[in-house]
Amino acid sequence: MNQQVHNKLVSFIWSIADDCLRDVYVRGKYRDVILPMVVLRRLDALLETTKDAVLEEVRFQKEEMEFVEFEGGGLQDASGYVFYNTSKWTLQRLHDTATNSQQLLQANFEEYLAGFSSNVKEIIDKFNLKRQISHMANKDVLLDVLEKFTSPYINLTPNEKPDPEGRKLPALTNLGMGYVFEELIRKFNEENNEEAGEHFTPREVIELMTHLVFEPVKENLPPVMTIYDPACGSGGMLTESQNFIKDEVGAIKALGDVYLYGKEINDETYAICKSDMMIKGNNPENIRVGSTLSVDEFAGTAFDYMLSNPPYGKSWSSETKYIKDGKEIIDPRFKVVLNDYWGNEEEADATPRSSDGQLLFLMEMVNKMKPLHQSPAGSRIASVHNGSSLFTGDAGGGESNIRRYIIENDLLECIVQMPNNLFYNTGITTYIWLLSNNKTANRKGKVQLIDAGQLYRKLRKNLGNKNCEFAPEHIAEIVDVYMRMSVQRAEVPNAEQAEAQVFDNADFGYYKVSIERPQRLKTQMTLDKIETLRFEKYLEEPMQYAYTTYGDRVYTDLASLEKNIIAWCEEYELDLTSKNKKKLLSPATWAKNHELVQLAQKLYDSLGEQEYMDFNVFTKEADKIFKELKLKPSATKKKTIYGAVSAYDANAEKVIRKKEKLTGDKLNTLLTHLSCKEEDLADFGYYSQASLEKEAAMSVRAQLRTEKPLKPGEYLTYETETNLRDTENVPLKEAIHAYFLREVKPHVPEAWINLDATKIGYEISFNKYFYKHTPLRNIEDVTHDILELEKQSDGLIAEILNLA
């Protein structure tokens, strides 16, 4: 459908709203009437030519066969479609026989709607059309609306027809219907200050996707083909895919049968999609309404081809309860099996951030791929995404796990970057992901990236945010580059040609490696630090108020203080949970913290405010004092006290975690686990006497003092300073230890690798792979331009630059 005809049709339909509904509906509500009437007229016009045949079939079933209920098969045969209307009415007849009685017209209209087959009645219900008919009748505009929609100058059918003057009225295809629908939605939403719809994919993008999906396998199409779109919108992608491989003017003209499946959450777009499925003769029951993410509508079903443009940047938090139970994934579509760093299989979360669910739709399609033992041809997927799907999410997170699963299972064939402002409702950069579980030999283990961001032609008039499109030659070039799996670079930056590169799967992966540094603590007992032990950290403010105000009564008479404490919390708007309130008012909480203060006070009485630059020495002395006082505080209590009086100091000694013996099988097991030699253990946090001496020799200050040298086979490990913990992203193709020695050790000699925390991540950066450096202009050219401008500024620039 060309843009001129499209704009003309939209203007005609919009004029209906302005002419008939202006005083009856606010402009933002025009859609409640216009959209269902467009769909209804589209169906009604197709049934006009077979109306007599359907009425004859109705008479036959009632009078001769004496059926209590209509038999749908015979009525479908009579209408020529999978839908029908058993009433005597058409929209044209309703208009032509109308009187001045709006009530009678309403009754006839409702009789007409009641005569439709159940599949159309569902569409009518989704649009709430009966309520709108009643409202228009009450406002005396129903006949006016009918007159507009039955005008011989408007063609809403998929067939060409002449107007009264003999001019040809072009057919309105499913895709054309999508354009009209999207433009009307945009106009309606402008009135409500809302964004345009999120359900429509431009014709040329669908064409590119269908070429990429079907061209490589056009000689080997199965005799029965199933096509699925989990976010089908108004159905354009499904029907255009069918046209591409089946119609006489299609690109492939396959001989097999094609079955279309889809799901759509928006009632309006679902109704349009289902109506067009019926018009095309497809089974409307294969189109389902509802959330794809909440309900696995086609569980157990696999499809040959899947094409989709799922919503991006859209929250799925309302559907989380159907996918997760706490942190546990309960929907198998979004749970994958991956290997950890050592190759052990583990179940992994394959859900993205709750603010953007686009990758969930991709995993839905991956879940519906036909395994090769079921179909030798496997399945092919084309899915549109924005840039966040390429790189958001850290290693081990849901987005990264999804990319990792797809790439490590060798499903990703190609990603095509498209121009900005190509889509109707967004100006951001978009990408087509092309997946297959039956790659050709030359693609196995490889991923092709194609940058087609500079391939476009400008539109004469914008369609929403869309100001450009792919021309046929652009599509041909992209498909050619893809089919040849070529590697090509533009000779000139921003040249109007596709660029391409081919990578190994592993090129996109990396190890996220934790780099640790030792904890160094300076310790000093002071009364102020001891006093902090009296209060829980998360209840410090209310507990401090209570103790300052009521003193030791909080330990002996807390119950009588409850109301006052809670009133103070409410006055100062402390948002305490019921759990925290219970702890605040619990004598056990106060008693526990009081005991910590008393224990710390006993240490203070013995140690005073002596400063310790070696935490290890401090803890030995503290333990000795507790033993002398015959006190046995738990490890947790001691840790709490020591933490309150200690702080990181770069000049302090390292805090020893433990000393352990590593010999024989135990040592060999560790060396195998770390894939290193014994002399390299210090790089992984295990320090022998030799490594300590080596480190001391390289340092400008004394290292950790030990009472006596470590024996052969003995190793020290240190506590880690979490605030200094860092991570490094190491390419999968590089050894972690070698990277550490080159990139980390020279700069932080005391650092070590925490290999057990290593995670594997995947990301794809188009900007990195296709970046072209544009040199800055030299200073002479810049100066020349400034001086040229000076001539136009009456010496102002020279004065500013002190050149006068």
Concatenate the DSSP letters of all residues of 232-254 into one string: -TTSHHHHHHHHHHHSTTSSS--
Task: Give the pLDDT confidence of 72-97 residue by residue, as tens digits.
Answer: 999 999 999 999 999 999 999 999 99
The answer to whether position 197 is within a domain reads: no
3-state helix, strand, coil in the chain (%, to 5): 45, 15, 35
Q: 788: Cβ–Cβ under 8 A, 6 or more apart, which residues?
A: none
For residues 491 and 561, membership in a common domain is answered with no
For residues 450 and 590, membership in a common domain is answered with no
Asked whether the CA dihedral 546, 549, 550, 552 is positive or negative, the reply is positive
Last residue of a domain, one of 513, 531, 556: 513
Query: How confident is the model at residue 280, as a pLDDT?
Result: 80
Give the whole-angstrom CA distance, residue 360 versus residue 316: 9
Last residue of a domain, one of 490, 513, 536: 513
Query: How confident is the model at residue 199, as a pLDDT?
Result: 47
CB distance 687 to 715 below 8 Å: yes
Q: What is the DSSP letter of 369?
A: B
Q: Looking at this protein, which amino acid is placed at residue 307?
A: L
For residues 644 and 701, membership in a common domain is answered with no
CB distance 581 to 554 below 8 Å: no
Cα atoms in the 13 Å half-sphere on the side-chain side of 637: 18
What does the buried/exposed string (b/e) look like for 519-530 if buried means 16 or more CB atoms within 10 Å of the residue's CB? bbbbbbbeeebb
Angle between helices 102-114 and 129-138 (to 10 degrees): 170
- Among the ranges given (9-23, 202-216, 287-301, 724-738), the one the predictor scored with the smallest mean pLDDT: 9-23
- Position with higher pLDDT, 234 vs 182: 234
Query: How confident is the model at residue 322, as a pLDDT?
Result: 95
Give the whole-angstrom CA distance, residue 285 versus residue 288: 7
Identify the band that residue 463 occupies on the pLDDT scale cut at 50, 70 and 90. Answer: confident
Give the whole-angstrom CA distance, residue 117 versus residue 72: 8
SS3 30: coil
SS3 415: strand
For residues 19 and 85, membership in a common domain is answered with yes
Query: What tokens were used for 110?
Result: 């409702």
Position 665 pLDDT exceeds 80: yes
Instruction: Tell me the average pLDDT across 532-538.
Output: 94
pTM summary value:
0.85
Instruction: Tell me the average pLDDT across 402-416.
Output: 98
Give the whole-angstrom CA distance, residue 419 versus residue 474: 11
Task: Give the pLDDT confidence of 729-762 residue by residue, as tens digits.
Answer: 999 999 999 999 999 999 999 999 999 999 999 9
Give the whole-angstrom CA distance, residue 613 versus residue 652: 5
Name the phi and psi angles at 800, rounded to 5.
-65, -40
Query: What tokens were used for 184?
Result: 């009307």
For residues 368 and 450, membership in a common domain is answered with yes
Cα distances (angstroms) measured from residue 315 to each of 189, 293, 353, 647, 710: 20, 12, 8, 42, 57
* Pairing state between β 380-386 and 646-648: unpaired
Name the phi and psi angles at 411, rounded to 5.
-95, -25
For residues 223 and 166, membership in a common domain is answered with no
Please list the residues that pair with 325 across neighbouring strands: 328
Position 193 pLDDT exceeds 50: no
**Which H helix or E strand runs over 467?**
strand 466-469
For residues 331 and 456, membership in a common domain is answered with yes
Over 270-288, what HEC string results?
A: HHHHHHHHHHHCCCHHHEE
Give the whole-angstrom CA distance, residue 111 versus residue 119: 16
The answer to whether position 467 is within a domain reads: yes
- Position with higher pLDDT, 767 vs 332: 332
Position 543 pLDDT exceeds 70: yes
Query: How confident is the model at residue 444, as a pLDDT?
Result: 97
Position 520 pLDDT exceeds 90: yes
**Residue among 597, 648, 606, 652 at smallest CA distance from 627:** 606
Query: How confident is the model at residue 257, as a pLDDT?
Result: 87
The answer to whether position 191 is within a domain reads: no
Q: Count of residues for the chain? A: 804
Over 693-742, what HEC string results?
A: HHHHHHCCCCCCCCCCCCCCCEEEEECECHHHCEEEEEECCCCHHHHHHH
Query: How confident is the model at residue 247, as a pLDDT?
Result: 64
Q: 113: Cβ–Cβ under 8 A, 6 or more apart, which residues?
A: 121, 124, 129, 130, 133
Position 174 pLDDT exceeds 90: no
Give the whole-angstrom CA distance, residue 584 versus residue 633: 23
Report the share of the chain in percent with pLDDT over 90.
Answer: 67
For residues 15 and 52, membership in a common domain is answered with yes
> Range of 743's domain?
656-764
Last residue of a domain, one of 460, 481, 513: 513
Task: Give the pLDDT confidence of 312-339 residue by residue, as tens digits.
Answer: 888 999 999 999 998 899 999 999 999 9
**Residue among 770, 212, 767 at smallest CA distance from 478:** 212
Instruction: Tell me the average pLDDT across 591-607.
Output: 95
Cα atoms in the 13 Å half-sphere on the side-chain side of 133: 24
Instruction: Tell me the average pLDDT across 565-579.
Output: 92
For residues 159 and 218, membership in a common domain is answered with no
Query: How confident is the model at residue 508, as a pLDDT?
Result: 97
Query: What tokens were used for 39?
Result: 């769909």
Query: How confident is the model at residue 4, as a pLDDT?
Result: 66
For residues 484 and 544, membership in a common domain is answered with no
* Radius of gyration of the chain, Cα coordinates, nearest whole angstrom: 37
Give the whole-angstrom CA distance, residue 348 versus residue 339: 9
For residues 420 and 319, membership in a common domain is answered with yes
For residues 282 and 363, membership in a common domain is answered with yes
- Position with higher pLDDT, 99 vs 406: 406
The answer to whether position 209 is within a domain reads: yes
Max Cα-Cα span within the chain: 112
Give the whole-angstrom CA distance, residue 438 versus residue 444: 9
Number of folded domains in the chain? Answer: 5
Instruction: Tell me the average pLDDT across 117-144.
Output: 92
Name the phi and psi angles at 177, rounded to 5.
-60, -40
The answer to whether position 193 is within a domain reads: no
The answer to whether position 180 is within a domain reads: no
Please list the residues that pair with 347 across neighbouring strands: 337
The answer to whether position 194 is within a domain reads: no
The answer to whether position 188 is within a domain reads: no
Q: 102: Cβ–Cβ under 8 A, 6 or more apart, which residues?
A: 137, 138, 140, 142, 143
Task: Give the pLDDT confidence of 254-290 residue by residue, as tens digits.
Answer: 667 899 999 999 888 898 889 888 888 889 999 999 9
Task: Give the pLDDT confidence of 683-720 residue by residue, as tens digits.
Answer: 999 999 998 888 777 664 444 455 578 999 999 999 99
